[in-house]
Amino acid sequence: MVSTSAGERLGVLGAILRIAAGIALILLPLLLLKLIILPALGLRSGLPPYEAISVKPLEFTLTLAGNFVCILGGYAAYARYVDRRSMPELSLRGTPTLYGLASGVGLIGFVMVLLYVTGYYVLESVPGFRLGALAVVGVVTSIVLLEELVFRGMILTLFRRVWGAPVALVVQALLFAAAHVFNDNWSGLMPLVSTVLIGLFWGAIYLKYPNIWVIAVHHAVWNLTIFASGLPLSGETAWRPFAPLQSRMVGPELITGGLGGPELSFLTPVVIVLALVYLARSGREGKYSS
């Protein structure tokens, strides 16, 4: 068991209860916003974001802004009242965040470019950036922020105190994979392998650069690079028509990832393993918040 800087010794049950409380502090305001506040204001049409942004722009804007307020506000309440600590992980850091931006685009982009060059991905048209794409960017960013605050900001941080970094890294990666098990077009062994490895990698980045914005930017641009290409994003296909590029896949799913998208290509786990090796050899963990 690892002690915190304040001398507190946190057990497994204590960590689980804090995680549950933290998730509740985020999700309950989101449900309140969705089920009570927005309907009371007449701003809950039920339209998907890529339609609402043009048909109901005020509804879309307030919904997205409200989501960010609930997510960040809930996390701040968790840190202050549940985990009883400050939040250095939310401080803005320029250079590491640029690293997150470059590595997020570069890693998944390398896999995709390789598959375009070899003919497994085929660019069909370039419709350009449209309003629906902006909606997808907003939704993806909010989901990414939520995931990073929960899996890295809460789960990895707390279990690191209990078991140390290596075990906590594995646990949060397994939970991250479990949270994605019901994604559309996400079945078989490859989604599990790929998502666990991606969770390990993103957790390792957070250990090295213990800052939410670094890993959130990495995660967001990873997802948005896939979306921009017109390929499926983590099994999601409904957003494809709004992508700036329109592409199709040719060849076996083991190579292309099929309707799961580039993350389920066998090349992605290979690249992630190499990136994990690089991180493991590149130095010690960063100064971590407790």
CA distance from start to end of the chain: 14
DSSP SS3 for 168:
helix
pLDDT at 3: 37
Position 8 scores a pLDDT of 62
| Per-residue model confidence (pLDDT) at position 290 | 42
Any idea how long the chain is? 290
Query: pTM of this prediction?
Result: 0.93
For 176, the token pair is 């991250």
Cα–Cα nearest to 289, from 27, 1, 4:
4
- Rounded Cα gap, residues 171 and 235, in angstroms: 23
Per-residue confidence (pLDDT) for residue 4, from 0 to 100: 45
Residues linked to residue 9 through DSSP beta bridges, in sequence order: 3
pLDDT, position 7: 43
The predicted pLDDT at position 94 comes to 74
Q: How far apart are CA 199 and CA 95, in angstroms?
A: 23
Residue 96 has a pLDDT of 81
pLDDT tens-digit profile, the chain (290 residues):
333 444 467 899 999 999 999 999 999 999 999 999 999 999 988 899 999 999 999 999 999 999 999 999 999 999 999 999 999 999 987 778 888 999 999 999 999 999 999 999 999 999 999 999 999 999 999 999 999 999 999 999 999 999 999 999 999 999 999 999 999 999 889 999 999 999 999 999 999 999 999 999 999 999 999 999 999 999 999 999 999 999 999 999 999 999 999 999 999 999 999 999 999 888 666 554 44
CB 264 within 8 A of CB 189: no
Report the C-alpha gap between 250 and 261 in whole angstroms.
12
Q: Which residues on neighbouring strands pair with residue 263, listed in sequence order?
A: none
Q: Please, what is the Cα angle at 120 between 276 and 184, to 5 degrees? A: 70
159: closest CA among 290, 6, 7?
290
